[in-house]
A and B are shown apart, each in its own frame.
Chain A
């Protein structure tokens, strides 16, 4: 599903070049539940942005669902984000002025889904995250956990190939964080591919595979079999 070979990302800051990612080689298959770990500045966010087609690699290969991403024009890239990727952010990133339901409908507007289908699918997605009773509330009328669940519903509503979650529990209390992780686990069990960026070991440990970054390189990539692994 995802194949990354020799991926590099270089930022130019005036005359100084910063290599954020050096020769990354990763393969992620359909149905995996992966945590990407690493301290800040390790390149995990850059990696995440490239995975999410929000940013382009300087060089290297990125194949998502048989598509070579670097070849695609901006408009096609927007379509890829819309169809193949569902984002969940640390700060939820819901539009504040519209209801939960409308927020979930948003990606489908850009996918040109009819209003009736949009509503139906959005309701279904909200049902999957257990929020059927709050669909007509605006984000500021919802708790943090509820907001993140709306965001998850929004991420999965277009049936994306991967769900990318960037510190999804970072702004949540532990109970809400737990609930959110339970949703991710359930979605993964239903077959969704989930990639989660976190620096919390207890969150990472709930996934099935941890890829660790440091200084722009993958320093560890291991599968988990249920046991808790201490992050070093």
Chain B
């Protein structure tokens, strides 16, 4: 009950010095706000990434060649037979090889540099392909080695102005000394993820039948294969099976490196977490400054209210009661500052995140962190002034003018 009375006194004192209290809290408000904004952005980025991963990262493996032990030779590359054998494994839903070359695509006077992927019709099972106009490659395109191409959304806009205008048009592809005419049959949507879009920047890509690419480049073996394993299966086991299979097919399994998308995402996500934590840590320094501000004002307040402290002591306030009164005042200031910082930070964070079209995530952890941290700041920086008040000699305090 006495605690309630003390709380009332503390609130009255804060209210009586509105301007000063507000300025005192400002340091903490800014500090907490900065931390909250940064964590909000960090969380949003992570959620965006996770969203992207869920869309086309689960159970996916890339099999690449590596020249760790000896230089890669042509026979290490994957043949159609290798791809088929891997696809035949029971844990594998789809396997698809790719040939990648950089080419120039031209339509009338417009020209872009595009990463051209020679792929199979099952490529959309191992990579995320979202056709928004037209269609993707079909078995018949592969078998018939048709001169067709699928552009990404941005390429279509760059060459034709709109995605609608692109389908059905014929464009010119130049690679080295060769030039071919290809008709556009479909448009692929680029990622939903804002970060992915940002990362891709001016990157253009396109797909053609793998058989056509083989012909262009005089190859029948491929340097890279993508695999979609069944979801919920241990990818480590699958990795081993694939390597064993390659071994059985007279390949040197030491020449292959299998990457799990999961691991890559986890690494990026970890990096992002670390980055967020580091910047938050730097922002947290401003909390220290805020805390010092609170201590400063509390010291001024103790000096100003020396006489009041003397009166209260003469009337029977214990030193511990006086200590509590000033400590509570400091804690109220800091917690209120923390709460305001949290609200403002969340609002600003929400604004930025929605501007970037990233998901907004209210993290209970961040709220708890802000409130706990601000309480701790209040206690840590309030204790010294409160102790000073509690220790005042009542006679001196009563005489203080």
A residues lining the B interface (CB < 8 Å) = 49, 52, 54-55, 74-75, 78-79, 81-83, 87, 89, 93-95, 97-98, 106-107, 109-112, 114, 154, 158
Contacts and interface: CB of A to CB of B under 8 A. Distances in A.
A93 B307 contact: yes
Interface in B241-285: none
Contacts of B143: none
B354 interface: no
Interface of B: 1-2, 5, 12, 16, 307-308, 310-321, 394-395, 398
16 contacts: A54-B398, A75-B319, A78-B313, A78-B316, A78-B317, A78-B318, A79-B316, A87-B315, A89-B398, A95-B311, A97-B12, A106-B311, A106-B312, A110-B316, A110-B317, A110-B321
A75 B5 CA distance: 18
Contact of B316 (A49, A83, A97, A98): A83
Contacts of A154: 315
A109 B318 contact: no
Contacts of A54: 313-314, 394-395, 398
A78 B314 CA distance: 8
Given A54-B314, A78-B319, A110 B2 contact: yes
A78 B390 CA distance: 12
Contacts of A78: 313, 316-319, 321
Nearest to B15: A97
A154 B312 CA distance: 12
Nearest to B397: A54
Nearest to B310: A93
Contacts of A98: 12
A64 to B, nearest CB: 14
A161 to B, nearest CB: 13
Contacts of B2: 109-110, 112
Contacts of A111: 316
Nearest to B390: A74
B316 A82 contact: yes
A93 B399 CA distance: 10
A8 B260 CA distance: 87
A125 B272 CA distance: 68
A95 B1 CA distance: 21
Contacts of A82: 315-317
A208 to B, nearest CB: 25
Which label, helix, strand, loop or mixed, suits the secondary structure of the B interface? Answer: helix
A154 B315 CA distance: 9
A72 B320 CA distance: 16
Contacts of A97: 12, 16
B318 A110 contact: yes
A153 B315 CA distance: 13
Contacts of B308: 95
Contacts of B5: 109
Most buried by A among B2, B318, B395: B318
* Max count, chain B CB within 10 A of own CB: residue among A78, A81, A154: A78
A8 to B, nearest CB: 17
Nearest to B4: A115
Nearest to B398: A93
A112 B5 CA distance: 9
Specify which of A54, A94, A97 lies most central, judged by the most chain B CB atoms within 10 Å of its CB. Answer: A54
Contacts of A87: 314-315
Nearest to A154: B315
A114 B2 CA distance: 9
B50 to A, nearest CB: 54
A61 B1 CA distance: 36
A81 B315 CA distance: 6
B3 to A, nearest CB: 11
A152 to B, nearest CB: 13
B16 A93 contact: no
Nearest to A110: B316
B315 A106 contact: yes
A155 B70 CA distance: 98
B143 to A, nearest CB: 91
Interface-central residue, A52, A82, A158, by most chain B CB under 10 Å: A82
Contacts of A52: 314
Contacts of B16: 97
Contacts of B312: 106, 110
Contacts of B320: 75
Given A54-B313, A78-B316, A93-B310, 13 more contacts: A54-B314, A54-B395, A55-B395, A74-B319, A78-B313, A97-B12, A97-B16, A98-B12, A107-B315, A107-B316, A109-B5, A110-B316, A110-B317
Contacts of A109: 2, 5
A94 B308 CA distance: 8
Contacts of B398: 54, 89, 93
Contacts of B318: 74-75, 78-79, 110
Contacts of A93: 307, 310-311, 314, 398
Nearest to B321: A110
A230 to B, nearest CB: 31
